[in-house]
Chain A
Amino acid sequence: MISPEGSKSLPDRGSRFDESLFSLQAMPKIPRGMLKETQKAVALARKFNDEVVRPQALEIDRQTHADPEYLPWDLVKKANEWGFYTMFIPKLFGGQGFNMPASAYVVEELSSACVGIANVVFVHYLGVAGILASWNVSLANKIFREVVRGQKSGKPSIISLAITEPGAGTDVEENELIDRARLNCHAEKVKGGYIVNGSKIFISMGHVSEWCCLIAYRDLKKASENTVTFAVRTGTKGFTFGKHEDKMGQRACPASELIFEDCFIPDEYVLRDSSIREGFGTRPIADLIEQYIHFVVSVTRPAVGAFGTGVARGAYETALKFAGETEVGGKLLINHEWAQAMLAEMYKNVVIGRLSYTEANYANGLPGGIYNILQRKPVYYYQKYAPKFIFDYLISPLLDLEITQRIFRRLFVDSQSLEVQQRCSGWASLAKIVGTDMGVKNSQMAVELMGQAGLRHERGAEKFLRDSKLLQIYEGTNQLNRINLFNNLIGSSIPQARAFEE
Chain B
Amino acid sequence: MLTTIKSELKPFEDLAHNFAVRELAANRKANDSYPFGPFFDPVVARAYEAGLLGITVPEECSGAGQGIGALCVILDRISAVDASLSGIIFTNALAQEIMLAAGGKDTLKGIMEKATDTRSTLIAYPAFSNPGETQTGLDAVRAGGTFRLSGTIEYVVLGGMAGHALVPARIKGQDGRQDGYTFFLVDQGGKGITKTEPIFSLGLHACPAVDLTLAGVEGIPVGKEGDGARCFDHASDRMHAAVAAIQCGIMKGAFQEALSYSQERFQGGREIINWSALRMLLGDMAVQAGIADIVVSGAAMAVDQQDPQWGLSARAAALHLSELACKLTTDGIQILGGNGYMKDYGQEKRFRDAKQVQALLGLFPLRKLGLVSAMAKGQ
Q: Are B365 and A477 in contact (CB under 8 A)?
A: no
Cβ 8 A contact of A247, one of B277, B330, B341: B341
Alpha-carbon distance between A469 and B201 when the two chains are bound, in angstroms: 17
Interface magnitude class on chain A: 35 or more
Is A380 an interface residue, CB under 8 A from the partner? no
Q: Are B326 and A171 in contact (CB under 8 A)?
A: no
Is A444 an interface residue, CB under 8 A from the partner? yes
Alpha-carbon distance between A454 and B363 when the two chains are bound, in angstroms: 10
Q: What residue of chain A has the Cβ atom nearest to residue B281's Cβ?
A: A479
Question: What's the minimum C-beta distance from A177 to chain B, rounded to whole angstroms?
Answer: 5
Hey, which chain A residues are within 8 Å of B135, CB to CB?
Answer: 327
Hey, which chain B residues are within 8 Å of A457, CB to CB?
Answer: 199-202
Q: Are A469 and B337 in contact (CB under 8 A)?
A: no
Contact surface of A with B, Cβ cutoff 8 Å: 62, 65-66, 164, 167-171, 177, 180-182, 201-202, 245-249, 255, 326-329, 338-339, 342, 440, 444, 447-449, 451-452, 454-458, 462, 465-466, 469-470, 472-474, 477-479, 482-483, 500, 502
Alpha-carbon distance between A166 and B109 when the two chains are bound, in angstroms: 56
Is B119 an interface residue, CB under 8 A from the partner? no
Stretch at the interface among B63-71, B237-245, B264-272: B264-272
Q: Are B275 and A328 in contact (CB under 8 A)?
A: no
Is B182 an interface residue, CB under 8 A from the partner? no
Q: Are A479 and B338 in contact (CB under 8 A)?
A: no
Q: Are A201 and B338 in contact (CB under 8 A)?
A: yes
Question: What's the minimum C-beta distance from A324 to chain B, rounded to whole angstroms?
Answer: 16
Is B344 an interface residue, CB under 8 A from the partner? yes
Contact with A along B173-201 (1 / 0, CB 8 A): 00000000000000000000000000111
Residues of B131-172 contacting chain A, CB below 8 A:
133-135, 154-155
Is B291 an interface residue, CB under 8 A from the partner? no
Is B276 an interface residue, CB under 8 A from the partner? yes
Q: Are A469 and B268 in contact (CB under 8 A)?
A: no
Q: Are A248 and B133 in contact (CB under 8 A)?
A: no
Q: Are A246 and B201 in contact (CB under 8 A)?
A: no
Q: Are B326 and A473 in contact (CB under 8 A)?
A: no
Question: What's the minimum C-beta distance from B215 to chain A, rounded to whole angstroms?
Answer: 23
Is B359 an interface residue, CB under 8 A from the partner? yes
Hey, which chain B residues are within 8 Å of A247, CB to CB?
Answer: 341-343, 348
Hey, which chain A residues are within 8 Å of B333, CB to CB?
Answer: 469, 473
Q: Are B202 and A478 in contact (CB under 8 A)?
A: no
Cβ 8 A contact of A447, one of B134, B155, B270, B355: B355
Contact with A along B189-220 (1 / 0, CB 8 A): 00000000001111100000000000000000
Q: Are B363 and A473 in contact (CB under 8 A)?
A: no
Residues of B315-345 contacting chain A, CB below 8 A:
326, 330, 333-334, 337-338, 340-344
Hey, which chain B residues are within 8 Å of A455, CB to CB?
Answer: 128, 155, 199, 201-203, 356, 359
Q: Are A65 and B36 in contact (CB under 8 A)?
A: yes
Q: Are A472 and B334 in contact (CB under 8 A)?
A: yes
A sample of 24 cross-chain residue pairs with beta-carbon separation below 8 angstroms, ordered by A number, consists of A65-B200, A66-B36, A177-B267, A181-B268, A202-B338, A248-B343, A248-B351, A328-B134, A329-B133, A448-B359, A448-B365, A449-B363, A451-B128, A451-B362, A451-B364, A452-B128, A455-B155, A455-B356, A455-B359, A456-B199, A456-B201, A469-B330, A469-B351, A483-B277
Question: What's the minimum C-beta distance from B144 to chain A, rounded to whole angstroms?
Answer: 33
Contact with A along B13-48 (1 / 0, CB 8 A): 000000000000000000001001000000000000
Q: Are A180 and B268 in contact (CB under 8 A)?
A: yes
Question: What's the minimum C-beta distance from B251 to chain A, rounded to whole angstroms?
Answer: 16
Alpha-carbon distance between A180 and B155 when the two chains are bound, in angstroms: 51
- Given A182-B266, A455-B155, 13 extra CB contacts under 8 A: A170-B268, A177-B269, A202-B338, A328-B134, A338-B369, A448-B363, A454-B202, A455-B201, A456-B155, A456-B199, A462-B202, A474-B338, A482-B277
Alpha-carbon distance between A470 and B340 when the two chains are bound, in angstroms: 9
Hey, which chain A residues are within 8 Å of B10, CB to CB?
Answer: none
